[in-house]
Structure formats: structure tokens, C-alpha cells
Amino acid sequence: MIFVMHGKSFCPKKIYKWSLLGQILSAHCRHNLRIVNRCQMNFYKRYMGDYQRDTADLTLIQHGVFTMLLDTYFSTEKPLAADQETLCRICRAASIVERRSVMSVADRFFPISDSDGMRHNHRADKEIEAAQPKIKAARENGAKGGRRKSLNKTQ
């Protein structure tokens, strides 16, 4: 596992060199600390035609909310939490208008599943599933030292 905070990675071995993680990281940093698996997606296909068709009626704030939620969904490869506080934290929503926009977009594009009580986006689930073979192949190639280089290099 690797720790990610504010877009920067921390290797657990380096963190253990610190005396106490809780004393070093401020309350704000602990709040923004999340643990992610190295093999998760860092890219996803975004189909502009589909996006425009499905989100044409959204406000500027709602477009931002949708993008933040979708990016989080893909980067963690997990469904979103159902509670408002977690969703608003993901979107950094503070005002009443922003918080209402978060819930409006979440209810419309990330419905709560009856099976696990989490918010799912069906299109994202399909894209994540389709990307797994490529992620697995890249991980295996990386473990072998990368792709094979051609033996017949011409200079």
C-alpha cells in the first residue's frame, strides 16, 4: 500500500521512520490522508458526446461536482459512500448551494445500491471492469522489468 495526501505519495517505510504519524500530521492533513492500492486507475476514457448528452442541463457547480465524484470513483475503483458529509468532503463543498448541488448530482448519477448501500455509477463500473486486464498486464510487465526491447535496434 501507499499513502497519498494532497497528490503526494508516501511510502509506509518512510512514514515508520517518523516517531508518531498522528503527531506529525496536522488535523487537516490527517483528514485528507487516504490509503490507496498502487494498481488503481490513473486514467479513464471520457466520452465527450455521452457526457454532453447526459449532463447538458447541469449548472457549472454541478459539472464540477460530477467531475470530482467521477474522478474519485475511478481513482479508488470503489463505489462512493452514501452519506452527505463524505460526498461534500470529496467535492470540497462548503456553501449551502454547493452542498445541495452535491446531493443533486449524487442522487442522479450515483444512485444508492440496494445490495451494499453504496453509491454506484454503472458506466464507471463497466469501464473499471474493462480496464482490469490492461492494468493486470501492465503490472506483470512492470514486475518483469517492463516491455521487451527490440533486439534489432538501428541507430
Domain extents for the chain?
1-36, 41-143
List the beta bridge partners of residue 7.
none
Residue 151's pLDDT is 60
Q: How confident is the model at residue 12 (pLDDT cuts 50, 70, 90)?
A: very low
CA distance 76 to 125: 12
Assess whether pLDDT exceeds 60 at residue 102.
yes
Burial bucket for residue 47 (CB in 10 Å: 0-12, 13-18, 19+): exposed
Least confident of 31-35, 112-116, 138-142: 31-35
- CA torsion 102-103-109-113 (nearest 10°) is 130
Mean pLDDT, the chain, whole residue set: 77
3 state DSSP class of 141:
helix
Tens digit of pLDDT for each residue in 58-76? 999 999 999 999 999 989 9
CATH number corresponding to 41-143: 1.10.10
Least confident of 3-7, 35-39, 129-133: 35-39
